Amino acid sequence: MSEAELEVVFDHLYARRRQDADAVAATLSSDVVHQGVEADLVCAGRDEVMERVRKTMRRSGDGIARIELVDAGAQVVVGLAGRAFRDNPLLDGEIYMVFTVRDGVITRMDDYRTRSEAFRAAQKE
Protein backbone atom coordinates (compact mmCIF):
# COMPACT_ATOMS: atom_id res chain seq x y z
CA MET A 1 0.00 0.00 0.00
CA SER A 2 1.20 3.44 -0.76
CA GLU A 3 0.30 6.74 0.79
CA ALA A 4 -1.93 7.32 -2.26
CA GLU A 5 -4.55 4.83 -1.03
CA LEU A 6 -4.67 6.49 2.39
CA GLU A 7 -5.15 9.85 0.65
CA VAL A 8 -8.06 8.53 -1.44
CA VAL A 9 -9.85 7.30 1.70
CA PHE A 10 -9.06 10.52 3.59
CA ASP A 11 -10.40 12.58 0.66
CA HIS A 12 -13.56 10.42 0.62
CA LEU A 13 -14.17 10.95 4.34
CA TYR A 14 -13.40 14.67 4.12
CA ALA A 15 -15.79 15.09 1.17
CA ARG A 16 -18.51 13.39 3.23
CA ARG A 17 -17.74 15.73 6.13
CA ARG A 18 -18.10 18.74 3.79
CA GLN A 19 -21.30 17.21 2.36
CA ASP A 20 -19.82 17.44 -1.13
CA ALA A 21 -21.62 14.64 -2.97
CA ASP A 22 -19.75 15.25 -6.23
CA ALA A 23 -16.39 14.91 -4.49
CA VAL A 24 -17.55 11.74 -2.71
CA ALA A 25 -18.70 10.22 -6.01
CA ALA A 26 -15.34 11.05 -7.59
CA THR A 27 -13.60 8.80 -5.04
CA LEU A 28 -15.78 5.79 -5.95
CA SER A 29 -15.39 3.25 -8.73
CA SER A 30 -18.47 2.91 -10.93
CA ASP A 31 -18.86 -0.67 -9.69
CA VAL A 32 -18.07 0.00 -6.03
CA VAL A 33 -19.68 -2.28 -3.43
CA HIS A 34 -20.52 -1.20 0.12
CA GLN A 35 -21.26 -4.13 2.42
CA GLY A 36 -22.93 -3.17 5.69
CA VAL A 37 -22.61 -4.98 9.02
CA GLU A 38 -25.52 -7.28 8.11
CA ALA A 39 -25.46 -9.49 5.01
CA ASP A 40 -28.57 -7.85 3.54
CA LEU A 41 -27.14 -4.34 3.93
CA VAL A 42 -25.36 -4.05 0.61
CA CYS A 43 -25.17 -1.35 -2.04
CA ALA A 44 -23.82 -2.26 -5.47
CA GLY A 45 -22.62 0.43 -7.83
CA ARG A 46 -21.88 4.10 -7.41
CA ASP A 47 -25.54 5.16 -7.71
CA GLU A 48 -26.71 2.91 -4.84
CA VAL A 49 -23.74 3.86 -2.66
CA MET A 50 -24.33 7.55 -3.30
CA GLU A 51 -28.01 7.16 -2.38
CA ARG A 52 -26.90 5.86 1.04
CA VAL A 53 -24.23 8.56 1.35
CA ARG A 54 -26.75 11.31 0.66
CA LYS A 55 -29.03 9.95 3.41
CA THR A 56 -26.19 10.03 5.93
CA MET A 57 -25.23 13.53 4.81
CA ARG A 58 -28.73 14.76 5.67
CA ARG A 59 -28.10 13.57 9.21
CA SER A 60 -25.01 15.71 9.55
CA GLY A 61 -24.38 17.05 12.97
CA ASP A 62 -24.54 13.54 14.39
CA GLY A 63 -20.95 14.11 15.40
CA ILE A 64 -17.82 12.05 15.18
CA ALA A 65 -15.75 11.93 18.33
CA ARG A 66 -12.96 9.70 17.02
CA ILE A 67 -11.50 8.76 13.67
CA GLU A 68 -8.69 6.35 12.88
CA LEU A 69 -7.11 5.53 9.52
CA VAL A 70 -4.69 2.61 9.35
CA ASP A 71 -2.67 1.28 6.44
CA ALA A 72 -3.55 -2.43 6.44
CA GLY A 73 -1.48 -3.68 3.54
CA ALA A 74 -3.70 -3.80 0.48
CA GLN A 75 -6.48 -1.91 2.27
CA VAL A 76 -7.24 0.95 4.64
CA VAL A 77 -9.05 0.30 7.92
CA VAL A 78 -11.09 3.23 9.23
CA GLY A 79 -12.55 3.43 12.71
CA LEU A 80 -15.27 5.96 13.53
CA ALA A 81 -16.99 6.64 16.83
CA GLY A 82 -19.52 9.21 17.93
CA ARG A 83 -23.20 9.99 18.47
CA ALA A 84 -24.32 8.59 15.11
CA PHE A 85 -22.99 5.18 16.01
CA ARG A 86 -24.30 5.12 19.58
CA ASP A 87 -27.87 5.49 18.34
CA ASN A 88 -27.59 2.68 15.79
CA PRO A 89 -28.88 -0.63 17.25
CA LEU A 90 -26.54 -2.61 14.96
CA LEU A 91 -23.46 -0.94 16.40
CA ASP A 92 -21.88 -0.45 19.80
CA GLY A 93 -21.01 3.23 19.52
CA GLU A 94 -18.45 2.74 16.77
CA ILE A 95 -17.95 1.27 13.32
CA TYR A 96 -14.93 -0.02 11.45
CA MET A 97 -14.69 0.00 7.69
CA VAL A 98 -12.25 -1.74 5.40
CA PHE A 99 -11.68 0.25 2.21
CA THR A 100 -10.20 -1.34 -0.89
CA VAL A 101 -8.62 1.13 -3.31
CA ARG A 102 -7.51 0.30 -6.85
CA ASP A 103 -6.34 2.66 -9.57
CA GLY A 104 -7.03 5.70 -7.41
CA VAL A 105 -10.68 4.95 -6.57
CA ILE A 106 -12.52 3.04 -3.85
CA THR A 107 -13.74 -0.30 -5.19
CA ARG A 108 -15.11 -1.79 -1.98
CA MET A 109 -16.17 -0.75 1.53
CA ASP A 110 -16.93 -3.38 4.16
CA ASP A 111 -18.40 -2.47 7.56
CA TYR A 112 -17.60 -4.27 10.82
CA ARG A 113 -18.79 -3.86 14.38
CA THR A 114 -15.36 -4.24 15.96
CA ARG A 115 -11.78 -3.27 15.23
CA SER A 116 -10.60 -6.87 15.50
CA GLU A 117 -13.17 -8.06 12.92
CA ALA A 118 -12.04 -5.36 10.50
CA PHE A 119 -8.35 -6.18 10.86
CA ARG A 120 -8.99 -9.91 10.51
CA ALA A 121 -10.89 -9.22 7.29
CA ALA A 122 -8.15 -6.92 5.96
CA GLN A 123 -5.50 -9.58 6.59
CA LYS A 124 -7.41 -12.13 4.49
CA GLU A 125 -6.98 -10.03 1.35
CA–CA separation, 118 and 98 (whole Å):
6
The per-residue pLDDT for range 6-29, each reduced to its tens digit, is 999 999 999 998 999 999 999 999
Within 13 Å of residue 121, how many CA atoms lie on the same side as its CB?
22
Query: What is the pLDDT at residue 84?
Result: 73
CA–CA separation, 67 and 81 (whole Å):
7
Class of domain 3-124: alpha beta
Q: Where are the domains of the chain?
A: 3-124
Question: Average pLDDT, stretch 42-64?
Answer: 85
**pTM above 0.75?**
yes
